[in-house]
Amino acid sequence: MCGIIGIASSKLVAQNIIHSLKKLEYRGYDSAGIATIVDNEIHEKKCAGRVDNLEKLLFKNPSKGSLGIGHVRWATHGIPSQLNAHPHSSDEVSVVHNGIIENSTLLKKNLEEKGYKFKSQTDTEVITFLLTDFLKSYDLVDAINKTLKALNGSFALGILFKKYSNIVVGARRGSPLAVGYGPEENYLGSDSYALKSMTNKITYLDDGDVCILTNNKIEFYNSENKKINKKILTLSEDKQFTDKGDYKDFMSKEINEQNITAKTCVKEYVDQLRKDINLYNFPINPKDIEKIVLIGCGTAYHSCITAKYWFEELTNIPIEIDIASEFRYRKINFNNKNLYVFVSQSGETADTYAALDLCKKNNVKTCSIVNVVESSIARSSDFVLPIHAGPEIGVASTKAFIGQMLVLFILAIKISEIRKEINKTDYENKIDDLQKLPDLIKDTINYCQDNTPIIAKDFIKAKGSMFLGRGLSFPIALEGALKLKELSYLHAEGYPAGEMKHGPLALIEEGLPVVILAPKDRYFEKTISNMQEVIARGGKVILITDEDNKIISENVRFTLKIAKTNEYLSPFLMTIPLQLLAYHVAALKNCDIDKPRNLAKSVTVE
């Protein structure tokens, strides 16, 4: 959500800022802007809409200056508009901001009483005038510290100053912020991806940190205003993941990369020769675990629900699942013999990070499953399990979901083996199954690729749709409904198929698309019975199954086949046709597939 770029250089920076803002478009945004320092004056340009619009403004009237900040905004306070776009500038200061200032109304009232005139509806403009006010009485560092202490909420900031015209300042509390090192220039960025085209040397700010950048020096201060040193990380090269290649968009590319994600992940965690899973240095002895708590948001939460079934089947450990945004507002009975597992694609999800922070404050053992190993959640956890999916650019998660489920399944198998709750033969069989999974995923993509565009037409004029499954297929039904909502803006709901008679059956009417997930598992016959209830009421059934029996397809509008596998692996394969279906419905509606409206890839506000 929102994106920040800052560059302190010895050469003109506007084009590099624009290039980096385009890298941040995947985060979701509605307006864009840039500010530079030219002849000790702040020059600001901003617009509603895409970065391309901002680039056109700069083409007509180039922005000079070797010092600049840029921003793509996802609206929280105030409608998407040029006026509300960042940066927000006074005569002395220009600010870009990710996050939310919770006490902005009170601060604004106080500043208005001092004579400051606000132009926007945003909370960010409060920061601009607050800092401007403190600079009248204090030097730079003290003014920054007093401003930060006055703010309640979360923020990542990039700041320019008219008086201090050779520096860019960054500050962080809650929202992520990275610093990059280059030859004769240094950088600020919301994440490393935006900076990778300029540098592979990165430092991450911790909560409370402030950095001051010039073109040849970076200074860091902690929350107590003490000068500190920060570790420099070298980022790996992954250019093959960040180019669309021959694909129309990133999402179609990422759907088709899922067999590679699975292959890479299995290779990282499975020792093929020894038939063992390589997981070591657990923060808690698995034999001592009394409960596992799985925590995530959105798609990551659905991977947690799926994992609950696996853990309960493979171990005797009680399992809880929690939506991160609810977790920290409940009365939690923390136990240091519990393992708290946090799942996040970006590793920067604000609610998930806040839940992790609460666990850390209560001295319990934590594990994170993330796609970005340098992220805040990864760095704050006792134990990190990367999903090895590579950068995922499409806002609606696809290959990261497969990766999250796969790592959770691997974790469940290994904990079961350590606790002696699975016999050696079963353990080795599951490892064999893992090694077959990438090919099964590839086969399923091939099976479903041609048929889903035809099926998608049934959803265009429908007033809603339903996704039904039992057991391990239930969380996949939730994910399928979420994907359709995210991409096509059509209403969809996922339900446990057995719950139909307890209310949702009232929604079934002639022509309503209903997706039935029915792999040949222990629930198969019951799911088919639920399907018949839908058919009897006029529902238009799309059946997704690995069963060849033609009889079950009678009165079914479409049947999508997935590769045959066992019950444990069916969620990975059931997911694929649902992703393709959502993709093709969105394509028929001419939706922006990689950047759905109102959504962000990295959700860094509550």
Q: Contact at 8 Å (CB) between 198 and 187?
A: yes
Q: What is the mean pLDDT of residues 17-37?
A: 86
Query: Are residues 204 and 78 part of one domain?
Result: yes
Query: Are residues 276 and 187 part of one domain?
Result: no
pLDDT at position 223: 86
Q: What is the mean pLDDT of residues 530-537?
A: 90
Query: Are residues 187 and 298 part of one domain?
Result: no
Q: Which residues of 228-252 are buried (b: 16+ CB within 10 A; e: fewer)?
A: eebeeeebeeeeebeeeeeeebbbb
**The one catalytic residue among 46, 253, 442, 601:** 601
Q: Contact at 8 Å (CB) between 174 and 211?
A: no
pLDDT at position 434: 95
**Residue 287 among the catalytic residues:** no
The last residue of a domain, from among 448, 465, 497: 448
The answer to the question of residue 595 being in a domain is: no
Query: Are residues 199 and 309 part of one domain?
Result: no
Compute the mean pLDDT over every residue in the chain, rounded to the nearest whole number.
91
The last residue of a domain, from among 188, 203, 235: 235
What span, in angstroms and rounded, lies between the C-alpha atoms of 291 and 311?
Answer: 11
Q: If you ran DSSP here, which 8-state letter would residue 123 be given?
A: S
- pTM higher than 0.85: no
Q: Which of 32, 38, 2 is nearest to 17 (CA)?
A: 32
**The one catalytic residue among 2, 47, 304, 367:** 2
Number of domains in the chain: 3
* Residue-wise pLDDT tens digits, 115-149: 999 999 999 999 999 999 999 999 998 999 999 99
Query: What CATH number has the domain bearing residue 20?
Result: 3.60.20.10
Domain around 215: 3-235
Query: Are residues 459 and 406 part of one domain?
Result: no
What span, in angstroms and rounded, lies between the C-alpha atoms of 150 and 167?
Answer: 23
Q: Which of 269, 245, 267, 268 is nearest to 256 (CA)?
A: 245
* Residue-wise pLDDT tens digits, 38-86: 988 999 999 998 899 999 888 888 888 999 999 998 788 888 899 999 9
87: preceding bond cis by omega (within 30 degrees): yes
The answer to the question of residue 173 being in a domain is: yes
Query: Are residues 248 and 220 part of one domain?
Result: no
CB under 8 A, 24+ apart: contacts of 356-361: 356/295, 356/380, 356/381, 358/327, 358/328, 358/332, 359/334
Query: Are residues 219 and 71 part of one domain?
Result: yes
The answer to the question of residue 606 being in a domain is: no
* Residue-wise pLDDT tens digits, 163-222: 888 999 999 987 889 999 999 999 999 877 778 878 989 898 988 999 999 999 999 999
Residue 603's pLDDT band (cuts 50, 70, 90): low
Query: Are residues 444 and 475 part of one domain?
Result: no
**Residue 64 among the catalytic residues:** no
Query: Are residues 558 and 422 part of one domain?
Result: no
The last residue of a domain, from among 426, 448, 470: 448
- Enumerate residues 6+ apart whose C-beta is below 8 A from 287: 418, 419
Q: What is the mean pLDDT of residues 507-531?
A: 91
Judged against a pLDDT cut of 90, whether residue 463 lies above it is answered with: no
Query: Are residues 247 and 185 part of one domain?
Result: no
Query: Are residues 254 and 133 part of one domain?
Result: no
Judged against a pLDDT cut of 60, whether residue 528 lies above it is answered with: yes
SS3 230: coil
Q: What is the mean pLDDT of residues 431-459?
A: 93
The answer to the question of residue 605 being in a domain is: no
**Strand ranges of the sheet holding 383-386, from the earlier edge strand across to the other edge:** 319-323, 291-296, 338-344, 365-370, 383-386
- Enumerate residues 6+ apart whose C-beta is below 8 A from 392: 250, 254, 345, 371, 398, 399, 400, 601
